[in-house]
Structure 1
Amino acid sequence: MATALNPTSIAPPFGDYSHGIKSAPASCLVVTSGQLGLAPDGSCSTDVRKQTEQCFANIDAILHEAGCDRADVIRLSAFVTDRAFFPDYMAVRDEWLAGVTIRPASTLLVVSGFTREEFKVEIEATAIQRD
């Protein structure tokens, strides 16, 4: 099990995440590439919330393939193309993490764009596979 690192000597987290994570001993580290809102058939919704949901569904599939689940995620890095997408991303992320006791470290950046114009969000995850 990971341990949240939220020192009282610094400001508390800005949202529902941990400033840092100390992992328990792990058999391996699982790192995803940035996941886009691409469905298995290659389609991509124009809606940022649906794209975010698909990103997390893709991450779920990768975690499952590695023998991990959401509770094993120690870091999320996300990128959106507009500040206006921040609330939708945060809502979906918080829903995805519902029931996860130790929230992963988290970073969200606003970027100018991705490889295709229709992409509005990209998310990558780091997880630990427990022994």
Structure 2
Amino acid sequence: MHQPIMPDSMPRPAARYAHATLVTNPARWLHTAGQVGIDADGNVPDGVAAQAKVIWHNIAALLAAADMSADDIVSITTYVVASAMEDGLAEAMAERDTFMSGRLVASTLLTVPALVRPEWLIEIVVVAADQKAA
């Protein structure tokens, strides 16, 4: 079971995430590389929100290939180009929340001056822990 950890002795998180996620007896782990908003045809849509939608679609594919789902995600790290922060960040976080179906997991948001390609505005890394025997 994945359990959000949010002690009363700490301030509440700044958004819809948990300060930590406790994983009991994981059978398998999946660590993704940073995913950027490139679709299967090599297209990169304009804007943070549109790229986030593609990224979550690609993360779903990675999870499915590992016989996992969003329910197995325990940690999310999101990198957003600082100059694009006003370009749909709220919508991008809503994409995350929708993908996670309201589940709270450990999550970190960082701003960066740039990603490797100028058209990339957001990059997301997830860690998933599966408690089913392989």
Give the shorter-chain TM-score range.
over 0.9
The residue that corresponds to 1:109 in the other structure is 110
| Runs of 4 or more consecutive aligned structure 1 residues displaced over 4 Å after TM superposition | none
Structure 1 residues 19 and 99, CA gap change in structure 2 (3 angstroms): closer
1:12-46 alpha-carbon deviations (Å, 9 max, x no partner) = 11111110011021111100000000001111001
Q: Return the letter of the residue paired with 2:58.
A: N
Paired positions, count: 129
Which residue type is aligned with residue 47 of structure 2? D
Counterpart for residue 52 of structure 1: 52
1:89 aligns with 92
- Which range moved further: 69-78 or 85-94? 85-94
Q: In the alignment, residue 125 of structure 2 is paired with which amino acid?
A: E
Q: Deviations along 1:76-107, whole A, 9 cap, x unmatched?
A: 0001113314312211111111253xx11000
Q: CA deviation at 1:109?
A: 0.5
Distance across 1 between alignment mates of 2:91 and 2:119:
16
Match of 1:37 in 2: 37
Q: TM-score of the superposition, structure 1-length normalised? A: 0.93
Gaps of 5+ in 2: none
Identity level (%): 29
> Equivalent residue for 1:26?
26
Distance 2:71 2:102 in 1: 8
Residue 12 in structure 1 maps to residue 12 in structure 2: yes
Paired amino acid for 2:114: G
Unaligned runs of 5+ in 1: none
User: Match of 1:62, as an amino acid?
Assistant: L
- TM-score (normalised: structure 2): 0.91
Alpha carbon RMSD of aligned pairs, Å? Answer: 1.1
